[in-house]
Structure 1
Amino acid sequence: MTTDLIGITMGDPAGVGPEIIVKSLAAMSPEARRGIRIYGNRDSLAAAEAVLATGLDLAALDVAHVEIPGARPAFGKLDPRCGEACYRFIALAVQDAMAGRIGCIVTAPINKAALNAAGHHHDGHTGLLAHLTGTPRCHMLLASERLSVIHNSTHVSLRDAIARATTERVLETIRAGHRHLVRLGMAAPHIAVAGVNPHCGEGGLFGSEDDDQITPAVAAARAEGINVEGPISADTVFHRAYTGAFDLVVAQYHDQGHIPIKLVAFDTAVNVSVGLPIDRCSVDHGTAFDIAGRGIADNGNLDHALAYAARLTASRRR
């Protein structure tokens, strides 16, 4: 896969996806826009442009159009037709990425309830992309300028997340994060592994998972030559990473990793899927039904995701 062409999936047509795409493309040069293919619905893009009035020539865009039956879905309303459209946008983009016709997929936000209402029972983009590519497991990595986090588990209950903090899974997550950063040009990335229990269990007083399961994973990764430390108490490790001590933190569950990232990089963090046979990154926000169709959605996060996608396509060439 050597093409630099980036595919943007429009996300839920009732959300802010159409607006942020129109805003981002309107700010690009015509040359830059030629490097973008949109997987979406032209009517929804036209509705967004009608609100924004950017002057963007929609007819000149490269759009892989997916028809939505019936009247155009209203902005801000949950609609199973939008869930089906989301699925078809993504499936078509994955097909092109697997065939090498695009170098990276950038996804605008989907609504999980709409996706499931359409009969596609996945926990979000990461699970759906793993399903479409036949990948047993991939990892969610949230990247920002000063803090990046890769998750050992994401959309599961806290009880299940603790059960998944096994030596094998933690080691696999460390390896995945290491490979990703090396690919982006870091010769020896410094990785920290967060503990699952308060104070890493305090010697077994608050649980034994850190000593019994996470410590052996870190030792095994170090034996492979990976520059990794841990487990480190979660109440300090993210601050240390933010101030430059680590390039990446392995978080054991969804909120452990998401909360610090949302605190320090709410508008700039990029969601990256690591371990797929294709490249994908995404905005790190939702469909924002409450403001959809009003023309006030901020496209800055999409711009960051597109910039990260450009890094991924460049690294694939190398």
Structure 2
Amino acid sequence: MDKPILVIPMGDAAGIGPEITVKALANKAVNEMAHLVVVGDRQVLKQALRYSQVELTINCINEPREGNFFPGVLNLIDLGNIELSQLKLGAVQAMTGKAAYEYIEVATRLCLDKKAQVLVTTAINKESLQAAKVPYIGHTEIIGALTGTKNPLTLFQVHNLRVFFLSRHVSLRQACDLVTQENLAAFIDQSVIALKRLGVTNPRLAVAGLNPHSGEHGLFGREEVEAVIPAVAAARRAGIDVEGPIGADSVFHLALKGKYDAVLSLYHDQGHIATKMVDFEKTISITIGMPFLRTSVDHGTALDIAGKGLASPVSLIEAIRLGALYAPFFKQSQ
């Protein structure tokens, strides 16, 4: 089987994105997983090679089919949009925010045109985007706008633990209000579809409880009684293999041990804490519901260590690995 083509926008030039990109592509195992194409700036990447003490040959191309996919080669679509003399590593800058948006824009177009199968994103900086007057706060919003996608589904994976999120960037109070039977019914259905797109034939799901001990039959909150239990019962009647509510202090452990294919987390921190306690560096974000698969590191630009050669590429390597792993299944489901 041909290797999938994965495209990597290099992220904010003032952060660790360029460094982890060159370090990841210098990893021999990474090159065996997929054909990798970077969208970025040649001068910035050459600088990253120097301070990272990594040896790669940069091969500038116009599109993926021109790539020279051999170890030691970084295939680059060079946008040349960074003035190196004005670049301040570790600082928020409008120039790098604008450039980061342009890398994502080009990479997204390659995926939409089916010239690449998976988009693998590194870190961008919200303040730099704002300084550049980019009207979006992050990757998901940018790619959603570029593809016309509304309400994509976020999945975290670390080792064999997968976690979906009913809600993400809302207050805890708002997150509780979103735990309704209607929302959960749709959430369960979306999660089943997402797992099947990733090659999980008969998904086994578990819904985490919201309240302590899943509410103890309404003693510690009514959300389980009024929303979770009815939604799970309806899904089971429809033939979906789902259980819940299961206490959040045990459900993630059970899934990690293989009892479930995914846990449905009811709010942001519930799932984030669980996955990152398993392995902080290897927790990867996967976005499903767009016209193509997207995997991403789950860390920021780390401006405090930018340019020092200290950044770890582990998260990016894992994002590449999962992108390559799921690409054949995702392609078949389209």
TM-score (norm 1): 0.92
Secondary structure of the 2:303 match is coil
Aligned-residue RMSD, C-alpha: 2.2
Distance in 2 separating the partners of 1:79 and 1:67: 16
Aligned residue type for 1:222: R
Q: Give 1:31 deviation, angstroms.
A: 6.7
| Mapped contact 1:93–1:105 kept (Cα < 8 A) | yes
Question: Alignment identity in percent?
Answer: 39
| Mapped contact 1:19–1:48 kept (Cα < 8 A) | yes
Structure 2, unmatched stretches of 5+, are: 60-72
| Mapped contact 1:3–1:100 kept (Cα < 8 A) | no
| Mapped contact 1:3–1:102 kept (Cα < 8 A) | no
Q: Give 1:317 deviation, angstroms.
A: 4.2
Aligned residue type for 2:258: G
Distance in 1 separating the partners of 2:197 and 2:34: 26
Partner of 1:41: 41
Secondary structure of the 2:304 match is coil
Partner of 2:177: 163
| Mapped contact 1:154–1:254 kept (Cα < 8 A) | yes
Q: Give 1:223 deviation, angstroms.
A: 2.5
| Mapped contact 1:104–1:312 kept (Cα < 8 A) | no
Distance in 2 separating the partners of 1:219 and 1:200: 16
- CA deviation map 1:216-259 (0-9, x unaligned): 22223222322111122212211222222222111111111100
Relative to structure 2, which stretch is displaced further, 52-61 or 106-115?
Answer: 52-61
Distance in 1 separating the partners of 2:240 and 2:51: 50
Secondary structure of the 1:290 match is helix
Distance in 1 separating the partners of 2:177 and 2:187: 15
Distance in 2 separating the partners of 1:30 and 1:159: 42
Distance in 1 separating the partners of 2:190 and 2:173: 24
Aligned residue type for 1:114: S
Q: Give 1:56 deviation, angstroms.
A: 0.6
- CA deviation map 1:29-86 (0-9, x unaligned): 8975981111111121111011122221123533222333543422211112222222
Q: Select which of 248, 266, 275 maps to 1:234.
A: 248
- CA deviation map 1:125-148 (0-9, x unaligned): 222222221112011111121321
Aligned residue type for 1:296: L
Q: Give 1:117 deviation, angstroms.
A: 2.8
Distance in 2 separating the partners of 1:204 and 1:298: 46
| Mapped contact 2:33–2:324 kept (Cα < 8 A) | no
Structure 1, unmatched stretches of 5+, are: none
Aligned residue type for 2:7: G
Aligned residue type for 2:322: Y
Relative to structure 2, which stretch is displaced further, 211-220 or 90-99?
Answer: 211-220
| Mapped contact 2:209–2:224 kept (Cα < 8 A) | yes
Relative to structure 2, which stretch is displaced further, 40-49 or 108-117?
Answer: 108-117
Q: Select which of 268, 282, 302 maps to 1:254.
A: 268
| Mapped contact 1:106–1:281 kept (Cα < 8 A) | yes
Distance in 1 separating the partners of 2:236 and 2:108: 35
Residues 69/269 of structure 1: CA separation in 2 closer, same or farther (3 Å cut): closer
Q: Give 1:203 deviation, angstroms.
A: 2.5
Distance in 2 separating the partners of 1:193 and 1:22: 39
| Mapped contact 2:123–2:299 kept (Cα < 8 A) | yes
Residues 139/46 of structure 1: CA separation in 2 closer, same or farther (3 Å cut): same
Whether 1:281 and 2:275 are equivalent positions in the alignment is no
Secondary structure of the 1:245 match is coil
Aligned residue type for 1:276: M
